[in-house]
A and B are shown apart, each in its own frame.
Chain A
């Protein structure tokens, strides 16, 4: 992201110090998560009901799936604001294909395929033409959702087959939904990829210093291309789950989700400047957002007021440590 070009002039973050800061960040998130959990159990007797908790996971599972891929992309110093647009387009394509009776497998293939093509398009614009991803994806965000509006206008696609609905409403075991299992599995896979593989280390290297990464033999453009495609595919997965859950497609589906996904990633401790962050942080951020919105919902707090909470939390968790440092250094000087 060229907005953050200054990041390249930052001194290298030492790995040991970086790991320590990271650990304390996740500790902070963990403490917040526990506090919210305890506060919720005190605030409402309905919070600990297994089915209620299970229902609440749907608030975050789809967004978190995208957030995992987005985390990798942001660590690499890029961003994709078109994810919600991809959901709209993929969902529209699936709805359009209903008339051909393609069946659940066909619908899933279409959803994934549209996500892949959209991600490829973003990736090509960014890596081949060298355009800043924040601007490219603001453009494709409008383009992708705009195509949905052209196809659907004020209409909606309905009548998804019941075996397709399972992807959004099915339960694997007792209260454990298919989406929750998928969320957990993806969290594991992304954590392994980012934290234990060569590819994961390359992502950090690119985010910290793309020039140095280039000179150390990392194929920067290719890695970024893969990450854009991955983000597109994950948006396709989210589109499948969301469409199956809602049972209908409107062009306004998942509106403004891109900002919620980015909020989740940044709250999770991924540096918007690139080069730092962990999947565990993103998972914790997703849990915090999910539990907070669910708990406030039980208290009949309207959704828009919950968004104040999310926004304030985003700024507060980043501002407070900096404020503390500012005050401390101010006293020392």
Chain B
């Protein structure tokens, strides 16, 4: 089992991540200190959570491009509710955020399941719709830090054993995924649907329904992250997390989640997100302009997908024409 891990893509990605941290550490002492690594984990938690949600969707051969818009819309709604009614308990706002996220995800899922519209078309549409709805509900106005209640802003920052609750939320979701994806029928169904939809039908799995649940779960996680994002940065506006949908896909791709479906692990998605998060945190430390980040993550995606493509498992009976 250890031998197979060493040869797996996760091990290589982990090695690359450790090498990256050590490389920065040799130039700038203190980068690999536990305190800083904790900070990176905390900073990357939202990306980790969303990458896990996206992983489920990609496993079923779909894609969800609306996650960042979903996040921004739920975040705005909680911020406006908080500003209008500061007395509302934060727990209730959190529940509203998750419920709204679930609903937005379910809308995507229903269109994919019942009407069999390709997910890329559905979520391309809802990406712009959800983003536009933010403008409609907010009128283009911002909700600023001073309008938010102290309790609203405090929750993700509260520290427990040296890690803020934001980071703990990420850890908890990772743990839940590790169990849920590997040990539950639904978790295995995501793999079955993506691995071979035809075979999945014959084993009694409803392909459409499984895809629906993938969208619902990823939507709920985006809702959760909507609250986390807005309360952490203490500001809500229409363009929150603009373009983040592709960062999420990038984290999955770097983590070895196959865009063809059915292939990928929780460890991979987490490491992929951490890899991007570490680069993001290392650039300012290394004195490199943050403007380099986009090109670096783009190059990382290309290298990662090129690397993963050579390790296709299973038998390839008829090679796809593109490889010739």
Contacts and interface: CB of A to CB of B under 8 A. Distances in A.
Interface of A: 2-6, 9, 125-127, 129-132, 134-136, 138-147, 149-150, 152-154, 210-211, 213-214, 220-221, 224, 251, 255-256, 259, 262-263, 266, 272-273, 302, 304-308, 310-312, 314-315, 318-319, 322-323, 326
A221 B197 CA distance: 27
A312 B259 contact: no
**Chain A contact residues: over half helix, strand or loop, or mixed?**
helix
Contact of A210 (B63, B295, B305, B320): B320
A3 B125 contact: no
B95 interface: no
Given A262-B124, A319-B111, A139 B291 contact: no
B54 to A, nearest CB: 12
B267 interface: no
A315 B321 contact: no
B165 interface: no
Contact of A144 (B63, B298, B306, B323): B298
A220 B260 CA distance: 20
A131 B259 CA distance: 10
Interface in B108-130: 111, 114-122, 124-129
Interface string B290-316: 011111111111100110010000000
Interface residues of B, number: 60
A149 B291 CA distance: 5
Given A146-B297, A210-B320, A134 B259 contact: yes
Interface stretch (B150-158, B174-182, B246-254): B246-254
Nearest to A206: B321
Contacts of B168: none
B217 to A, nearest CB: 19
A200 B295 CA distance: 35
B306 to A, nearest CB: 6
B320 to A, nearest CB: 6
Given A135-B305, A319-B115, 8 more contacts: A130-B322, A140-B298, A146-B299, A150-B291, A150-B292, A308-B133, A310-B128, A311-B132
10 contacts: A2-B260, A132-B305, A140-B302, A141-B246, A141-B298, A146-B292, A152-B291, A272-B118, A306-B132, A322-B115
A153 B289 contact: yes
B118 A273 contact: yes
A322 B116 contact: yes
Contact of A318 (B117, B259, B260): B117
B198 interface: yes
Contacts of A132: 259-260, 305
A139 B321 contact: no
Contacts of B29: none
B140 interface: yes
Of the listed residues B197, B291, B292, B306, the one surrounded by the most CB atoms of chain A closer than 10 A to its CB is B291
A101 to B, nearest CB: 27
Given A139-B305, A149-B291, A9 B198 contact: yes
Contacts of B250: 138-139, 142
B289 A142 contact: no
Contact of B322 (A220, A259, A308): A220
A2 B127 contact: no
Contact of B301 (A135, A262, A312): A135
Contacts of A266: 121, 124
A285 B324 CA distance: 36
A98 to B, nearest CB: 20
A142 B295 contact: yes
Interface in B49-77: 61-63, 65
